[in-house]
Chains A and B, each alone.
Chain A
Amino acid sequence: MADSVLSVQGLTAAFDTDRGRLRAVHDVSFDLPRGQTLAIVGESGCGKSVTALSVLGLLPVPPAVIEAGQILYDGKNLLELKEREMRKIRGGKIAMIFQEPMTSLNPVYTVGSQIVEAVRLHKPLSRAAARARAIEMLKLVGIPSPEDRVDAYPHQLSGGMRQRVMIAMALSCDPDVLIADEPTTALDVTIQAQILDLLRRLQAELAMSVLFITHDLGVVEEFSNNVVVMYAGRVVESGSVEEVFAAPEHPYTRGLLASVPPLAASRGAAKQARLQTIEGVVPDLLSLPSGCRFAARCAHKKSEPPGFEACDSDEPALFSLGPGRASRCHYSQP
């Protein structure tokens, strides 16, 4: 892509376990265009969070091993940087917000001092100036009376407020890229709407690029420009949100979209109908099938005549379907 601020190429990340090497992320590639939002969506264990943590060099090595790939930011491969250089980028140029703000904020320091610490790590500011910056950031994320709240401890704030503090901290050093790992999953819908609204506003104001990790397809549709669907460590589909949601190509994506009940569904007949489901469970990453990883649960494959065995014997490649659009399914082969 022409102007991508972050580019992940062929990333393979594994963990050494008692039962052998587990590839949590297998040959994953994507580009994050500048100023846009890319969502990585998938179920638990699909590798979306491991991908995000790899970008920031936050995987514990060992047991984690980056087997292959490049993560290009600003012309540099982040995987080759020394820890000292990485520390300048992490939290400065590339910031992250996590799912559970209570466990990622330090309970024994005030939120203000935690923001001050983050700011002074990356910017040559005096303590007083950094505190002013902290108050300014708290105000930016819509925390009422920020002059008082700057001295509050995390437990004195509600879940929504804590997530705002996390966002304030992440944005305090003017990052280029914000990685948001399920930032609204632990929140109620009304608070989720507030936080998404805030992120959208800040992204436009600060011209940030956002890598958004989530399992919620509704959030993806509302918040993102592009989407990458992951399944069992693989990218199975990618494309613009409009294309993928209007005409999902991979059977897994189709199944995911169909298993969410539509709001205000037509009643009566539909009431008795059952939801479409994806049968079975995600395969064990330590004993993957030799063919397509989704084959055992695939609706498309089952409806086919038994003569078609490619699904069980060969893993399909990620077939390109046009610019930025791809699907990992034998039926997508041009």
Chain B
Amino acid sequence: MSKNGKETSPGTAEDAPIGSEVYWDPPEAPAPDAGPDATGGSETKDEDGAAAKERRPLMHAERVSKLFPVKKGLFGRTRFVRAVDGVSLYVRHGETLGLVGESGCGKSTLGRTLLKLLEPTSGRIVFDGRDITHMSHRQLRPLRRRMQIIFQDPYSSLNPRMTVRSIVGEALSVHKLAKDAAEEEAKVEALLKRVGLRPEAMKRYPHEFSGGQRQRVGIARALAVEPDFIVCDEPISALDVSIQAQIVNLLLDLQDEFKLSFLFISHDLKVVEYMSHRVAVMYLGKLVEVAPAESLYERRLHPYTRALLSAIPVPDPSKRRLRVLLEGDVPSPMDPPTGCAFHPRCPRAEKGKCDTETPLLAELEKGSRHRVACFHPHD
């Protein structure tokens, strides 16, 4: 096992220029016509063939950071909250990447930054081979159709003065996806049916629906424009348990049917594991562990992942594990600890190492796709 990040994973080397390297994993099963150079390509924009497209993730981000300025007092110095700090990740076609972490860790900010709903402070975001980092609103508009978001609270994200018909129809008309009113109407009806709502729902207003039904409206609106990539920002957190399962199943069905890619943001680790192919764990703006779901939940290399998973109450006495209780709270992202941000709460922290040096996200064994940012991972 190598502790040297540069050797095992060139993509996380902090001094390499952005855009100079391939840092995503090769696809699980290479496309049949993929040549021997399946992992050799180095620049996305040069590749054009179908095989290359197959290899390339739908969306990837390189060392994306988002800083928010915070001003203290009238003449105070402006300080910055590092909400997202140098995050690299990718999402493949038809894949779900789960993103977990505690409140305030920056997971929602990351989701919004990837969609350019927030401007990234630095880094690079590539969607389907096109660098969207510095695109203007106008340039972005045709791509916007392909990138959608579903919010946590479907009530505050649906206009209370609009009927469901106009909420879903608006998405269609903005992107000119229907020839006339009749076609728009038919499309809205089909969409509502697809998410499990009756056609009568069209004439109703958001407040007339229950939470689960409102979330279905939110999903119908996102689906209306036939997107490829949807950021699901805590889509089930506000719902009752029995309704959560309905929405989870709906999202899985839609993913199969339309080959959707999801970034599934949640603090519910059970649902994330259930939904996701790969899972990323975030702490104080940084990814601390990224791995295929089963590997992450089985090995739990990072001490934070371990504590997070052991904290979940499970309704099954036979599955109960030893609990790792974390001391204290998440530190302020305005004033993050030096070195590894987790070291003040970490049971394995080493004095003189973890509090001074920052661990890089790197594969523990080459080719395992299991990346962890820790000097003393479990295993």
Residues of A within 8 A of B (CB): 43-44, 158-161, 188-194, 196-197, 215-223, 242, 245, 255-257, 259-265, 267, 274-279, 281-282
Query: Is the beta-carbon distance between B312 and A189 smaller than 8 angstroms?
Result: yes
Q: Pick the contact of B323 from A44, A193, A245, A267 — CB < 8 Å?
A: A193
Query: Is the beta-carbon distance between A43 and B240 smaller than 8 angstroms?
Result: yes
Query: Is the beta-carbon distance between B273 and A259 smaller than 8 angstroms?
Result: no
Please, which residues of chain A bring their CB within 8 A of the CB of B308?
189-190
Chain B: CB-nearest residue to A277: B245
Query: Is the beta-carbon distance between A255 and B298 smaller than 8 angstroms?
Result: no
**A188-B103, A193-B325, A263-B297 known; A222 vs B313 contact (CB < 8 Å):** yes
Minimum CB–CB distance for B306 against chain A, Å: 11
Query: Is the beta-carbon distance between A261 and B274 smaller than 8 angstroms?
Result: yes
**A192-B311, A218-B315 known; A275 vs B329 contact (CB < 8 Å):** no
Query: Is the beta-carbon distance between B313 and A221 smaller than 8 angstroms?
Result: yes
Q: Quick one: which of B236-295 are within 8 Å of A by CB?
A: 240-246, 248-249, 252-253, 267, 269-271, 273-274, 293-294
Chain A: CB-nearest residue to B101: A188
Query: Is the beta-carbon distance between A275 and B274 smaller than 8 angstroms?
Result: yes
Minimum CB–CB distance for B49 against chain A, Å: 31
Q: List 27 A-B contacts (CB under 8 A).
A: A44-B240, A160-B329, A161-B329, A188-B330, A190-B307, A190-B311, A191-B329, A193-B310, A193-B326, A194-B325, A194-B326, A215-B240, A215-B241, A221-B313, A245-B315, A245-B316, A256-B241, A259-B241, A259-B244, A259-B245, A260-B245, A261-B248, A261-B270, A261-B273, A262-B270, A275-B248, A277-B242
Residue B118, interface by CB 8 Å: no
Chain B: CB-nearest residue to A184: B313
**Complex: A48 Cα to B102 Cα, angstroms:** 28
User: What total count of A-B pairs have CB within 8 Å?
Assistant: 122
Please, which residues of chain B bring their CB within 8 A of the CB of A221?
313-317
Query: Is the beta-carbon distance between A279 and B246 smaller than 8 angstroms?
Result: yes
Residue B210, interface by CB 8 Å: yes
Please, which residues of chain A bring their CB within 8 A of the CB of B86?
none
Query: Is the beta-carbon distance between A193 and B315 smaller than 8 angstroms?
Result: no
Please, which residues of chain B bring their CB within 8 A of the CB of A257?
315
Minimum CB–CB distance for A260 against chain B, Å: 6
**Complex: A197 Cα to B294 Cα, angstroms:** 28
Query: Is the beta-carbon distance between A264 and B242 smaller than 8 angstroms?
Result: no
Query: Is the beta-carbon distance between B329 and A259 smaller than 8 angstroms?
Result: no
Please, which residues of chain B bring their CB within 8 A of the CB of A191?
102, 329
Minimum CB–CB distance for A191 against chain B, Å: 7
**Complex: A190 Cα to B316 Cα, angstroms:** 19
**Complex: A201 Cα to B219 Cα, angstroms:** 43
Q: Pick the contact of B267 from A189, A260, A262, A282 — CB < 8 Å?
A: A189
**Complex: A222 Cα to B312 Cα, angstroms:** 10
Chain B: CB-nearest residue to A144: B328
Chain B: CB-nearest residue to A276: B245
Residue B203, interface by CB 8 Å: no
Query: Is the beta-carbon distance between B273 and A265 smaller than 8 angstroms?
Result: yes
Minimum CB–CB distance for A190 against chain B, Å: 5
Chain B: CB-nearest residue to A187: B103
Residue B77, interface by CB 8 Å: no
Query: Is the beta-carbon distance between A190 and B240 smaller than 8 angstroms?
Result: no
**Complex: A264 Cα to B312 Cα, angstroms:** 12
Minimum CB–CB distance for B162 against chain A, Å: 23
Minimum CB–CB distance for B332 against chain A, Å: 10
**A192-B311, A260-B270, A275-B245 known; A245 vs B240 contact (CB < 8 Å):** no
Chain A: CB-nearest residue to B212: A281
Query: Is the beta-carbon distance between B242 and A43 smaller than 8 angstroms?
Result: yes
Please, which residues of chain B bring their CB within 8 A of the CB of A216?
313
**Complex: A257 Cα to B297 Cα, angstroms:** 21
Residue B319, interface by CB 8 Å: yes
Please, which residues of chain A bring their CB within 8 A of the CB of B213?
281
Please, which residues of chain A bring their CB within 8 A of the CB of B297?
263-264
Please, which residues of chain A bring their CB within 8 A of the CB of B274?
261, 265, 275
Please, which residues of chain A bring their CB within 8 A of the CB of B210?
281-282
Q: Residue among A192, A265, A281 with the most chain B CB within 10 A?
A: A281
Minimum CB–CB distance for B234 against chain A, Å: 13
Please, which residues of chain B bring their CB within 8 A of the CB of A188?
102-103, 267, 330
**Complex: A222 Cα to B315 Cα, angstroms:** 7
**Complex: A152 Cα to B251 Cα, angstroms:** 45
Minimum CB–CB distance for B316 against chain A, Å: 7
Contact with A along B224-244 (1 / 0, CB 8 A): 000000000000000011111
Minimum CB–CB distance for A90 against chain B, Å: 29
Contact with A along B312-346 (1 / 0, CB 8 A): 11111101100101100110000000000000000
Please, which residues of chain B bring their CB within 8 A of the CB of A277?
242, 245-246, 249
Q: Residue among A192, A262, A275 with the most chain B CB within 10 A?
A: A275
Minimum CB–CB distance for B304 against chain A, Å: 9
Minimum CB–CB distance for A142 against chain B, Å: 9
Known: A218-B313, A223-B313, A242-B317. 15 other contacts (CB 8 A): A189-B269, A190-B307, A218-B315, A220-B315, A221-B313, A221-B315, A221-B316, A222-B314, A222-B320, A259-B245, A263-B273, A263-B297, A264-B297, A264-B319, A281-B210
Query: Is the beta-carbon distance between A264 and B241 smaller than 8 angstroms?
Result: no
Query: Is the beta-carbon distance between A190 and B212 smaller than 8 angstroms?
Result: no
Please, which residues of chain A bring their CB within 8 A of the CB of B241?
43, 215, 217, 256, 259-260
Minimum CB–CB distance for A128 against chain B, Å: 31
Q: Pick the contact of B314 from A263, A278, A279 — CB < 8 Å?
A: A263
Minimum CB–CB distance for A228 against chain B, Å: 16
Closest CB pairs A-B (n = 8): A218-B313, A259-B245, A193-B311, A261-B274, A278-B242, A43-B240, A188-B102, A217-B315
Please, which residues of chain A bring their CB within 8 A of the CB of B298?
264
**Complex: A77 Cα to B308 Cα, angstroms:** 44
Q: Quick one: which of B44-98 are within 8 Å of A by CB?
A: none
Query: Is the beta-carbon distance between A245 and B246 smaller than 8 angstroms?
Result: no
Minimum CB–CB distance for A198 against chain B, Å: 10
Please, which residues of chain B bring their CB within 8 A of the CB of A263?
269-270, 273, 297, 309, 312, 314, 319
Contact with A along B346-361 (1 / 0, CB 8 A): 0000000000000000
Q: Pick the contact of A189 from B102, B246, B253, B294 — CB < 8 Å?
A: B102
**Complex: A281 Cα to B198 Cα, angstroms:** 14
